């Protein structure tokens, strides 16, 4: 029997904890831990699962917080730092010990060093990167939405400027600047990315598309799109309006040898009675092929996460929730080698959640 702790962030003033029992398929609400306002994105330290980082997606001044993680996901707040802007939707620990955070509301980003341990921030040693106001596209403002480390670079998708910014460190920790960009289709709104086998997968919020391209070697401006497909289900209720949100690529394992791509659709208009879908794709000869649209009963799936981050046994599961509605948190089991999903557990004690971290108990 394998039990997992699942931590869940959201637009509240707490992070919730759940226990998922994979033998009985029970998802149990455990507790909630007070944070700053709106910890909409949470993420584990890249190598130390007893450390958690969270955004406070507040306006006008966002924040980054660090926590220790105890048994059953018990959280203790350690430090809080100014994010360098407004409305941060994403943070992530880097292999260098620094923590990156992006500010959607102010078009800025910051990489904050830590001090003697990964829990304490050295805010005075960090510069704020301000992205330019776009002259093309549809948004008219810079809207950075993610920070993704790849090698020595930090990649930041900008939904408002249809670019993925390439940042590098200039000397001391915390001192980063833009040294390149990867162009994306005008008006597409790149939101989140994944890189697998040196190929770039981008989920575009405004176009609700998933694109594939070879990752351009620095300082190349971009590479041609190899595939560009819609994530939206075939049936669309009148008045529906889609905004794709998340892309996941669990690494292959013996049980799941194919690296399927999972994307979340958010219908922010008139809801389908079956809820929003998780679209499952496979890369075949550099083409993205839709394998399934799994209806979830969830309303606006902003965040989801695969259980592979918890280690052995977790690779069979994905957790998801809606930003709106009352459907709660759901756990899905990957079936047909990962080409399909089966709902195995649900907990509705909290109606909505927006981000997740898996831990093995």
Q: Which sequence spans correspond to the domains of the chain?
A: 35-195+208-221
Q: Which residues of 189-225 are buried (b: 16+ CB within 10 A; e: fewer)?
A: bbbbbbbbeebbbbbbbbbbbbbbbbbbeeeeebeee
Tell me the average confidence (pLDDT) per consecutive run of 10 residues in the chain, 361 residues long: 94 98 98 98 97 97 98 98 98 97 98 96 94 80 97 97 96 96 96 99 98 91 96 94 98 97 97 97 99 98 95 95 98 99 99 98 88
**CA–CA distance, 39 with 254 (Å, rounded to integer):** 35
Look at residue 291 in the predicted model and tell me its pLDDT: 99
For the record, the structure tokens of 249 come out as 């690529």
Fold of 35-195+208-221: Methylamine Dehydrogenase; Chain H (2.130.10)
Q: Choose among 56, 61, 50: nearest CA to 34.
A: 56
Look at residue 185 in the predicted model and tell me its pLDDT: 96
Note the pLDDT tens digit of each residue in 290-313. 999 999 999 999 989 999 999 989
pTM: 0.97
Look at residue 335 in the predicted model and tell me its pLDDT: 99
Note the pLDDT tens digit of each residue in 113-124. 999 899 999 998
Look at residue 331 in the predicted model and tell me its pLDDT: 99
Q: Choose among 107, 65, 66, 100: nearest CA to 86.
A: 107
């Amino acid at each position: 029997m394998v039990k997992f702790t699942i931590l869940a962030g959201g637009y509240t003033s707490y992070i919730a904890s759940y226990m998922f029992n994979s033998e009985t398929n029970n998802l149990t609400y455990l507790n909630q831990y007070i944070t700053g306002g709106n910890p909409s994105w949470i993420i584990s330290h890249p190598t130390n699962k007893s450390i958690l980082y969270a955004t406070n997606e507040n306006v006008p001044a966002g924040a980054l917080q660090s926590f220790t993680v105890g048994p059953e996901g018990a959280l203790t707040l350690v430090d809080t730092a100014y994010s360098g802007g407004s409305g941060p939707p994403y943070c992530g620990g880097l292999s260098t010990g620094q923590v990156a955070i992006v500010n959607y509301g102010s078009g800025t980003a910051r990489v904050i060093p830590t001090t003697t341990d990964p829990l304490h921030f050295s805010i005075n040693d960090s510069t704020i990167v301000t992205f330019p106001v776009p002259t093309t596209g549809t948004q008219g403002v810079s809207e950075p939405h993610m920070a993704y480390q790849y090698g020595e670079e930090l990649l930041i998708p900008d939904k408002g400027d249809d670019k993925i910014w390439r940042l590098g460190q200039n000397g001391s920790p915390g001192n980063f600047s833009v040294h390149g960009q990867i162009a994306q289709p005008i008006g597409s709104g790149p939101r989140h990315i994944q890189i697998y086998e040196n190929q770039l997968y981008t989920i575009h919020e405004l176009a609700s598309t998933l694109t594939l391209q070879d990752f351009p070697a620095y300082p190349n401006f971009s590479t041609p799109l190899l595939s560009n497909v819609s994530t939206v289900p075939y049936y669309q209720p009148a008045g529906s309006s889609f905004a794709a949100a998340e892309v996941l690529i669990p690494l292959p394992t013996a049980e799941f040898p194919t690296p399927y791509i999972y994307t979340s659709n958010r219908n922010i208009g008139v809801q389908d009675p079956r809820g929003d879908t998780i679209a499952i794709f496979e890369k075949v000869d550099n083409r993205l092929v839709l394998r399934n649209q799994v209806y979830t009963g969830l309303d606006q799936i902003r965040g989801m996460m695969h259980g592979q981050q918890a280690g052995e046994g977790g690779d069979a599961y994905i957790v998801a929730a809606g930003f709106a509605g009352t459907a709660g948190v759901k756990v899905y089991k990957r079936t047909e080698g990962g080409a399909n999903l089966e709902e195995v557990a649900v907990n509705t004690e909290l109606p909505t959640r927006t981000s997740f971290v898996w831990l093995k108990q």
